[in-house]
């Protein structure tokens, strides 16, 4: 017990010193660049789907874009709140306050661990269950050396029950040990900046015990396998395939491989070459220079389809041999006359 209290005391001193150094530095707010890049990517996919008139793919991409914009809005709101001047500067917790928080955490959580070597404080939550899905216990690990950074803590699944569609998603709001804080972003940042460890850990646990489908990485209804948008069958991660064009996930049976690039595409993004009938993605189809119909590259000869190439050859033959062409036309006209029957007079053509 004395050793643990000693570790709490040393941790409280180190955390207080870290907070004091942070308050001496000028605060810098970081814009959510990754969220912005994701919105740009989805916007490009939506434009591509609209260009190729892929209505169903466009609807799915638009839905993903709306969720990404919502997450971006939350992040920007957090930056805005951090830049707003506080009416009164908040004071960092004292060494005694931090020590008292560490002791209070032992009454609130099943397990509290302080590692002076790694400069971390971690707590273990109870088993979390949301809407009938058991997600297990989580360890919230705070690295006090990174108190001024957005990645100062991790949320690690102890007995992981990840989503079937994404093994890195261990909770609807946790992916790759990173928590989507949503509306909790500002109070969490404030608690960390002031050294209120008890409030910080309780806030994170509250988010883990809450489910918001609008900001979930994977919805709980799809936790044990997502529904294929084409056939409606429940599919698991090893049975699904991502469309290379619109990023729609469907079951493997509902995707088709492109005969030109070997990538797989959903039914909205795959086409059939009118010449060879092979499945070809829209990116690998090329317009014929004469008729503007789209063909796979193997069915084009100098950017011209087989039918147009044959017509060109006929026209070239006609230009090179006009007498032959005239003779053929005369012969065809002669054969088109009906044969005379006995007693009938010939009628000039």
Last residue of a domain, one of 161, 186, 220: 220
SS3 79: helix
* Confidence at residue 339, expressed as pLDDT on a 0 to 100 scale: 53
Count of beta carbons in the 10 Å neighbourhood of residue 94: 12
Domain assignment of residue 76, yes or no: no
Statement to judge: residues 256 and 188 lie in one domain: no
**Residuewise pLDDT in 10s, the chain (349 residues):** 667 788 899 999 999 988 888 776 544 557 788 889 989 988 988 888 888 887 777 887 888 888 888 888 878 877 776 676 544 445 678 999 999 999 999 999 989 999 999 999 999 999 999 999 999 999 999 999 988 776 899 999 998 899 887 888 999 999 999 999 988 988 998 899 899 999 999 999 999 999 998 888 888 988 887 777 777 776 776 777 888 888 788 888 888 888 888 788 888 888 888 888 888 887 888 889 888 888 888 888 888 898 898 888 888 887 777 665 555 555 555 554 455 554 555 555 4
Residues 213 and 259 both lie in one domain: no
Q: 94 with 124, same domain?
A: yes
Q: Based on the fold, state whether residues 140 and 278 are members of the same structural domain.
A: no
Total domain count, the chain:
2
CA 190 to chain centre: 30
Both 174 and 98 in a single domain?
yes
9 and 139 fall within a common domain:
yes
Question: Of 167, 189, 220, which residue sits at a domain end?
Answer: 220
What is the per-residue pLDDT across 96-125, written as a single tens digit (0 to 9) for each?
999 999 999 999 998 999 999 999 999 999
Q: Are residues 6 and 103 in the same domain?
A: yes
Which residues 6+ apart lie within 8 Å of 147 measured at CB? 15, 18, 19, 22, 192, 193
Return the CATH number at 132. 3.10.110
Looking at the fold, whether 150 and 114 belong to one and the same domain comes out as yes
Q: Do 128 and 213 sit in the same domain of this protein?
A: yes
134 and 192, same domain (yes or no): yes
* Residue 215 belongs to a domain: yes
What are 109's two structure tokens? 């959580």
Decide if 161 is inside a domain: yes
Q: Express each pLDDT in 285-299 by its tens digit.
A: 888 988 888 888 888
pLDDT on residue 128: 95
Domain, as residue range, for 199: 2-30+90-220
Helix/strand/coil percentages in the chain, nearest 5: 45, 20, 35
Taking Cα atoms as reference points, which of 25, 197, 205 lies closest to residue 98? 197
Q: What is the pLDDT of residue 124?
A: 97
> CB atoms < 10 A from the CB of 34, how many?
11
Give a yes or no: residue 263 inside a domain.
Answer: yes
Produce one character per residue of 168-190: b if its CB has 16 or more CB atoms within 10 Å, e if not.
ebbbbbbbebebbbbebbebbbb
Last residue of one domain, picked from the residues 220, 244, 272? 220
Q: Rounded to whole angstroms, how far apart are CA atoms 283 and 169?
A: 32
What's the pLDDT at 82? 66
In a domain, 342, yes or no: no
242 and 191 together in one domain: no
154 and 273 co-located in one domain: no
Pairing of strands 138-143, 153-157: antiparallel
Beta-carbon contacts of 138 under 8 Å, excluding residues fewer than 6 positions away, are 124, 125, 128, 155, 156, 157, 158, 170, 171, 174, 208
| 320 in any annotated domain | no
308 to 25, 253, 279, 304: CA distances (angstroms): 72, 36, 22, 6
What is the pTM assigned to this prediction?
Answer: 0.56
């Amino acid at each position: 017990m004395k050793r643990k209290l000693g570790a709490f005391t040393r941790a409280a001193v180190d955390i207080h010193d870290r907070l004091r150094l942070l308050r001496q530095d000028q605060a810098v707010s970081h814009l959510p660049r990754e969220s912005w890049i994701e919105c740009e990517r989805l916007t490009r996919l939506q434009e591509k789907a609209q260009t190729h008139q892929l209505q169903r793919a466009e609807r799915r991409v638009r839905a993903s874009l709306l969720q990404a914009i919502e997450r971006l809005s939350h992040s920007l709101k957090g930056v805005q709140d951090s830049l707003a001047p506080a009416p009164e500067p908040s004071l960092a917790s004292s060494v005694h306050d931090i020590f008292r928080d560490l002791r209070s955490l032992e009454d609130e959580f099943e397990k509290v661990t302080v590692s002076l070597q790694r400069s971390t404080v971690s707590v273990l939550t109870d088993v979390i269950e949301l809407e009938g899905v058991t997600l297990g216990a989580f360890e919230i690990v705070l690295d006090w050396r990174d108190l001024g950074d957005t990645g100062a803590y991790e949320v690690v699944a102890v007995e992981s029950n990840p989503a079937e569609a994404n093994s890195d998603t261990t909770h609807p709001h946790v992916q790759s040990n990173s928590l989507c804080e949503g509306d909790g972003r500002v109070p969490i940042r404030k608690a960390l900046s002031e050294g209120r460890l008890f409030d910080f850990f309780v806030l994170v646990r509250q988010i883990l015990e809450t489910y918001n489908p609008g900001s979930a990485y994977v919805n709980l209804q799809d936790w044990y396998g997502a529904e294929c948008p084409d056939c409606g069958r429940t599919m698991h991660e090893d049975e699904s395939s991502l469309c290379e064009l619109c990023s729609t996930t469907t079951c493997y049976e509902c995707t088709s491989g492109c005969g030109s690039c070997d990538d797989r595409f959903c039914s909205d993004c795959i086409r059939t070459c009118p010449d060879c009938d092979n499945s070809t993605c829209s990116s690998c189809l090329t317009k014929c220079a004469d008729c503007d119909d789209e063909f796979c590259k193997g069915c084009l000869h100098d950017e011209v389809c087989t039918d147009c190439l044959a017509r060109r050859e006929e026209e070239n033959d006609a230009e090179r041999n006009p007498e032959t062409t005239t003779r053929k036309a005369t012969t065809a006209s002669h054969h088109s006359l009906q044969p005379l029957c006995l007693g009938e007079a010939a009628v000039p053509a």
